Amino acid sequence: MAFPILTAQEAAEVINNGDNLGLSGFTAAGTPKVVTEALAKKAEKEHAEGRPFKVNIFTGASTNDHVDGALARANAIDKRTPYQSSADLRKRINSHDANYFDLHLSELAQKLRYGTFGDIDVAIIEAAHVSDNGEILLGTGVGMAPTVAKMAKKIIIELNEAIPTSVEGLHDIYMPLDPPYRREIPIYKPNDRIGSTLLKVDPAKIVGIVKTNITDGVHGFSPLDDVTKQIGANVCDFLIGELRRGAIPASFLPLQSGVGNIANAVLFGLGESKEVPAFDMYTEVIQDAVVDLMEKGKCRFASTCSMTFSDAKMTEVFNNIDFFRDKILMRPGEISNSPEIVRRLGVITMNTALEADIFGNINSTHVVGTKMMNGIGGSGDFTRNAYISIFSCPSTAKGGLISTIVPMVSHLDHSEHSVDVLITDQGIADLRGKSPVQRAETIIENCVNPEYKPLLRDYLKLSQAGGHTPHSLNAALGFHSTFAAEGDMRKTDWSKFA
Ligand code: 0RQ
């Protein structure tokens, strides 16, 4: 092999304080696993000797504990974008130890190429194979690998022997031209292949190969609880209703679904439905449920950025790879999440809210308005350009102490203009074509938990004089301030906000 074999520690020595690091992968899938652990140890040693050591991390989406967890625990992250889901990093972000900025996933690769955030000093790319001339067979996720490999001054390959080379053919590597030379991205059907199966990099930039044998370590799903099942059933009922009235073509449309138990429940419900025909997905992540749907013939094809499967499911897929070869294409995030393609294909999008307000604005990211949860992820890329955009969430959180439907969202990620339908365990609010007051009435009657309905009906009365989108500016965040003071939004007393 043309490239030196390095230990993770030797590879970490290539990385300096203040470097911009670009990583392959999207979620835990396809994300490096050993060099960042060694880097965290190096940072701890530097800190112990009184020297500063932090790096800036640019990735496709969230990562894994080997990256965000290890580096956050070592307090070795300065800038971080565009999405994360690590409890340790979340603490660093909310205490201002790490400077996180939240970004639509489709935008980061192009913003890097535009020069917005400076150079990429080192790219760490997980691979199933690399040839002497620099052709890389990526692993279970792509993320921003093409862009960071192109921009990086140095490339470290993590050659992961847990990934069989039979994954060749599942990737579709394509990089759009940048303005002012940009043309359309030529995807007209979800399964149109537009790029190459391998990522070609300049071999002179590869400083070495670190061998690993570590799986992505994605956990399986917990059994669906009644609330999640009910949300899934409500989303299915809505989609079947649209199909029956002809608002969705009989051949159906491609689906995007976010991550987590609700997305899993929705896909499970669609798989069970006799009325929903076999469908395609144009999405950013596929999880275990999609494998089952493919095996049942219900999902024909999925365009994605990663295969975020549990280890058991991944083994099943690797063992039966020829069955999946024409059913999955993994693309860079700027293609899997491309607003242009989402709008062209008519993608029906399904994402999760932390909180929604009675007018249909969505907070996906900030717990009680200030504490970062994960980030906006790809939800905005899809929502804003959807054929129909759906948000769902349980009607309450923390055992009922929090109503997820509030008078005014405490942080805004998706505005009322982009949100078509809101669905909770209580029911469905179709917001399309409704004025703000009509939306509020529909959301309160159909989606709000019974314990909170009287309070929100009273809020609407209290604010009725207030114009097109009526609010009482004193009381608009009354649920949140009551929760902060008394730990229970049900104790809200509007007379205190008069
Ligand atoms: O808290 O963890 O302490 O139990 O928030 O809530 O209901 O378990 O939901 O795991 O599906 O996450 C929006 C965060 C939902 C996620 C979000 C508390 C609740 C619980 C988690 P605990 P659930 P999920 C695909 C597309 C944005 C990006 C996106 C997300 C915890 O779906 O990050 O959609 N989405 N990307 O108790 C205070 C509220 C709350 C609340 C819930 N209103 N106030 N706490 N919680 N509602 C992904 C990618 O782009 C890769």
Give, for ligand 1, the residue of 228, 235, 354 to mutate: max count of ligand atoms closer than 8 Å to Cβ.
354
Asked whether the beta carbons of 290 and 317 are under 8 A apart, the reply is no
- What is the position in ligand 1's atom list of the atom closest to the CA of 354? 47
The distance of Cα 384 from the centroid of its chain, to the nearest Å, equals: 15
- Which of 320, 321, 319, 270 lies closest to 293, judged by CA? 270
Q: How many residues does the chain have?
A: 498
Ligand 1 centroid distance, CA of 194 (Å): 34
- The C-alpha atoms of residue 190 and residue 282 are separated, in whole angstroms, by 6
Determine if ligand 1 sits within 6 Å of the CB of residue 376: yes
Give, for ligand 1, the residue of 27, 100, 352, 355 to mutate: max count of ligand atoms closer than 8 Å to Cβ.
352
- Which of 117, 114, 108, 120 lies closest to 181, judged by CA? 114
Determine if ligand 1 sits within 6 Å of the CB of residue 346: no
CA-CA-CA-CA torsion sign (77, 81, 85, 90): positive
> Could you tell me the CA-to-CA distances from 360 to 141, 162, 424 in Å, in that order?
33, 45, 13
Determine if ligand 1 sits within 6 Å of the CB of residue 162: no
Asked whether the beta carbons of 443 and 422 are under 8 A apart, the reply is yes
Predicted local distance difference test score (pLDDT) of residue 339:
98
Q: What is the mean pLDDT of residues 124-145?
A: 98
Q: What is the token pair recorded at 415?
A: 């505005």
Q: Which residues are catalytic?
A: 284
Q: Whose CA is nearest to atom 47 of ligand 1?
A: 354
- The C-alpha atoms of residue 457 and residue 440 are separated, in whole angstroms, by 9
- Which of 196, 324, 175, 339 lies closest to 256, judged by CA? 339
Ligand 1 centroid distance, CA of 394 (Å): 10
Determine if ligand 1 sits within 6 Å of the CB of residue 324: no
- Which of 258, 256, 259, 255 lies closest to 218, judged by CA? 259
CA-CA-CA-CA torsion sign (25, 28, 30, 31): positive
Ligand 1 centroid distance, CA of 483 (Å): 18
- The C-alpha atoms of residue 444 and residue 324 are separated, in whole angstroms, by 44
pLDDT digits (tens, 9 = 90+) for 243-299: 999 999 999 999 999 887 888 888 888 888 888 899 999 999 999 999 999 999 999
Predicted local distance difference test score (pLDDT) of residue 262:
83
Greatest alpha-carbon pair distance for the chain in Å reads 75
Q: Which residues pair with 307 in a beta bridge?
A: 286
Predicted local distance difference test score (pLDDT) of residue 269:
85
Ligand 1 centroid distance, CA of 384 (Å): 20
Ligand 1 centroid distance, CA of 386 (Å): 21
**CATH for the stretch 226-492:** 3.40.1080.10
Asked whether the beta carbons of 216 and 311 are under 8 A apart, the reply is yes
Return mean pLDDT, the chain: 96
Determine if ligand 1 sits within 6 Å of the CB of residue 373: yes
- The C-alpha atoms of residue 445 and residue 428 are separated, in whole angstroms, by 10
301-331 in b/e burial notation, b at 16+ Cβ within 10 A?
bbbbbbbbbbeebbebbbeeeeebeebbbbb
Q: What is the mean pLDDT of residues 119-128?
A: 98
Asked whether the beta carbons of 384 and 418 are under 8 A apart, the reply is yes
Amino acid type, 498: A
Ligand 1 centroid distance, CA of 414 (Å): 15
Query: Helix, strand, coil % (nearest 5) of the chain?
Result: 35, 20, 45
Determine if ligand 1 sits within 6 Å of the CB of residue 452: no
Ligand 1 centroid distance, CA of 210 (Å): 35
Ligand 1 centroid distance, CA of 369 (Å): 13
Residue with tokens 């894994």: 64
CA-CA-CA-CA torsion sign (289, 292, 298, 300): positive
Determine if ligand 1 sits within 6 Å of the CB of residue 352: yes
Q: What is the mean pLDDT of residues 470-489?
A: 96
**CATH for the stretch 8-212:** 3.40.1080.10
Predicted local distance difference test score (pLDDT) of residue 455:
98
Determine if ligand 1 sits within 6 Å of the CB of residue 368: yes
Q: What is the mean pLDDT of residues 181-208?
A: 98
pLDDT digits (tens, 9 = 90+) for 24-45: 999 999 999 999 999 999 999 9
Asked whether the beta carbons of 357 and 408 are under 8 A apart, the reply is yes
Determine if ligand 1 sits within 6 Å of the CB of residue 357: no
Determine if ligand 1 sits within 6 Å of the CB of residue 76: no
Question: Beta strand pairing status for 362-363 and 405-406?
Answer: unpaired
Torsion of CA 420, 424, 429, 431, to 10 degrees: -20
- Which of 34, 202, 217, 31 lies closest to 125, judged by CA? 31
Ligand 1 centroid distance, CA of 336 (Å): 22
Q: What is the mean pLDDT of residues 404-412?
A: 98
Give, for ligand 1, the residue of 59, 94, 259 to mutate: max count of ligand atoms closer than 8 Å to Cβ.
259
- The C-alpha atoms of residue 164 and residue 10 are separated, in whole angstroms, by 26
- What is the position in ligand 1's atom list of the atom closest to the CA of 262? 11
Determine if ligand 1 sits within 6 Å of the CB of residue 397: yes
Cα 26-35-25 angle, rounded to 5 deg? 10
Asked whether the beta carbons of 195 and 131 are under 8 A apart, the reply is no
Q: Whose CA is nearest to atom 49 of ligand 1?
A: 377
- What is the position in ligand 1's atom list of the atom closest to the CA of 413? 27
Asked whether the beta carbons of 425 and 394 are under 8 A apart, the reply is yes
CA-CA-CA-CA torsion sign (256, 367, 394, 221): positive
Complex confidence, ipTM: 0.95
Q: Do domains 8-212 and 226-492 have the same CATH topology?
A: yes
Predicted local distance difference test score (pLDDT) of residue 387:
98
Predicted local distance difference test score (pLDDT) of residue 265:
85
Determine if ligand 1 sits within 6 Å of the CB of residue 449: no
Q: What are the sequence ranges of the domains in the chain? A: 8-212, 226-492
- Confidence category of residue 1, pLDDT binned at 50, 70, 90: low
- The C-alpha atoms of residue 215 and residue 438 are separated, in whole angstroms, by 50
Predicted local distance difference test score (pLDDT) of residue 395:
98
- Confidence category of residue 370, pLDDT binned at 50, 70, 90: very high
- The C-alpha atoms of residue 148 and residue 141 are separated, in whole angstroms, by 14
Question: Beta strand pairing status for 122-130 and 20-23?
Answer: parallel
- Which of 32, 30, 35 lies closest to 10, judged by CA? 35
Q: Whose CA is nearest to atom 32 of ligand 1?
A: 352
